[in-house]
Amino acid sequence: MKVALVHDHLCQMGGAERVLAVLHTMFPEAPIYTALTRKGPLWPELRDADIRTSWMQHLPRPHQTYRAWLPLYPAAIESFDLRSYDLILSSSFAFAKGAIGRPGARHVCYCHTPMRYAWNFDSYVARERMGALARRALLPVISRMREWDLRTRDRPSAYIANSTTVADRIRQCYGRDAEVVHPPVGVERYAPSDEVGDYYLIVSRLVAYKRFDLAIEAFNAMQRKLVIVGDGPAMRSLQQQAGPTITFRGRLPDREVAHVYARCRGLVFPGEEDFGISPLEVNASGRPVVAYRAGGALDTVIDGATGVFFDEQTVAALAAAVRRCESLAWNRETLVRHAGGFAEHVFVEKLRRAIERAPALPMDAAA
């Protein structure tokens, strides 16, 4: 069976790219087709991959200006000649699901989310803190993106969602059902410690929609220590907001991340995410999570057993959840065992079975 992997772009290294790295280990001979890639380090598992970029790679400074070329991605993905492949496995958070396969082949889309800015534009604009002028300029572009996204909804012969929340979005946006296969978590990189520090922890790319501003406001008010690991476009504004109990560590090597996970009092997860791997990483380290009850956390957090939920994105609700977290006795073995249910080998086994069940594209399928 001849396999091709398709991914939107490789200009940032986040959770979707970690999934792609595991897909590459599953199908090491499969080329990876992507609109463009950045110069610089990829995840180690992708460094030996056969990565084939589109004509977008020749645009001016593509890895720095990739957001500005939004209208071009559909044409870039459609430009790939995939007619020789029996299986197309697309890893899509926006455009990759629009890859064109030949009739009779299978196209399985592992969907991280339907195109967010096309289907939830107001929320996207708010969390990216766009001004009124940028918003007006984007509206016609987003309208065309939504039309294309809807027109290409049947290019995959099957959808696989990374969470129950995303499966619901796929049904609402595309009218298609999706099996849920949770993303792989590298639980083997983490281990509990008998030493527990006096700090709570955030590990993430720092972007506005993840609501770390709420966490900082709450920890400022509570005068409790909060360590923030990661960087991103919201870092400067968060640093300006932070009081003396908040520490920014920036990006850390995996070994140091594992160290701070294992010694924290708990992870703070204040935003709504499509899935979110960090709650499971902290569980694998034997520590609980304080999470907003929404999105992927509904699939990964068991209230009172692996973490605690709060129901409103307010300082009072988050502070109450932190105090509840401190009042409970956490069973380290329960936390680690729970995280193990999301291990890479579990993902691989479930995904292979889902691919085997996927139908072929109809012989009269139109591009």
pLDDT band at 208 (very low <50, low <70, confident <90, very high): confident
Answer yes or no: do 102 and 214 share one domain: no
- For 14-62, what is the HEC assignment? CHHHHHHHHHHHHCCCCCEEECCECCCCCCHHHCCCCEEECHHHHCCCH
pLDDT surpassing 60 at residue 359: yes
Residue 291 lies in a domain: yes
What is the CATH number for 252? 3.40.50.2000
What is the average per-residue pLDDT within 348-358? 96
Answer yes or no: do 196 and 180 share one domain: no
At 207, which helix (H) or strand (E)?
none
pLDDT surpassing 80 at residue 108: yes
List the 178-180 sheet strands across, edge first.
51-53, 32-34, 3-7, 87-92, 106-111, 158-161, 178-180
What is the average per-residue pLDDT within 252-256? 92
Contact 182/347 with Cβ under 8 angstroms? yes
Answer yes or no: do 103 and 85 share one domain: yes
Residue 251 lies in a domain: yes
Contact 311/290 with Cβ under 8 angstroms? no
Question: Computed over its alpha carbons, how large is the radius of gyration of the chain?
Answer: 21
Task: Label residue 40 exposed, middle or buried (CB < 10 Å: 0-12, 13-18, 19+).
Answer: exposed
Answer yes or no: do 123 and 227 share one domain: no
**The Cα angle at residue 69 between residues 64 and 75, in degrees rounded to 5:** 130
Answer yes or no: do 20 and 166 share one domain: yes
Q: 102-106, 120-124, 155-159, 193-197: lowest mean pLDDT where?
A: 120-124
pLDDT 10s digits, 278-292: 999 999 999 999 999
Residue 365 lies in a domain: no
What is the average per-residue pLDDT within 265-273? 95
Q: 60-74, 207-221, 243-257: lowest mean pLDDT where?
A: 60-74
Residue 363 lies in a domain: no
Residue 367 lies in a domain: no
Contact 275/292 with Cβ under 8 angstroms? no
What is the CATH number for 61? 3.40.50
Answer yes or no: do 161 and 226 share one domain: no
Answer yes or no: do 191 and 151 share one domain: no
Residue 40 lies in a domain: yes
Answer yes or no: do 62 and 201 share one domain: no
Q: What pTM, to 2 d.p., does this model score?
A: 0.87
Q: 86-90, 108-112, 136-140, 363-367: lowest mean pLDDT where?
A: 363-367
Cα–Cα distance for residue pair 116/119, rounded to 1 Å: 5
pLDDT band at 113 (very low <50, low <70, confident <90, very high): very high
Answer yes or no: do 210 and 120 share one domain: no
Quote the domain boundaries for residue 136: 3-184+345-357
Q: How many domains, the chain?
A: 2
Contact 4/85 with Cβ under 8 angstroms? yes
Residue 44 CA: distances (Å) to CA of 7, 18, 39, 186: 17, 10, 14, 13
Those residues with Cβ within 8 angstroms of residue 176's Cβ, 6 or more apart along the chain or in another chain:
153, 154, 156, 159, 170
Q: 18-22, 47-51, 260-264, 265-269: lowest mean pLDDT where?
A: 47-51
Numbers of helices and strands, H then E, in the chain = 15, 13
Answer yes or no: do 172 and 191 share one domain: no
pLDDT surpassing 70 at residue 250: yes
pLDDT 10s digits, 320-343: 999 999 999 999 999 999 999 999
pLDDT band at 264 (very low <50, low <70, confident <90, very high): very high
Residue 93 CA: distances (Å) to CA of 111, 153, 317: 6, 13, 31
Instruction: Write down the mean pLDDT value for the chain.
Output: 91
pLDDT surpassing 90 at residue 168: yes
Any bridge partners for residue 201, and if so which? Answer: 227, 267
Which residue from 35, 36, 31, 25 is spatially nearest to 85, judged by alpha carbons?
A: 31
Measured between its terminal Cα atoms, the distance across the chain in Å is 22
Answer yes or no: do 174 and 205 share one domain: no
Answer yes or no: do 210 and 156 share one domain: no
Q: Kindly state the percentage of the chain with pLDDT values over 70.
A: 92
Cα–Cα distance for residue pair 291/77, rounded to 1 Å: 36
- Residue 137: the pLDDT is 66
pLDDT surpassing 90 at residue 124: no
pLDDT 10s digits, 61-104: 766 666 677 889 999 999 999 999 999 999 999 999 999 999 99
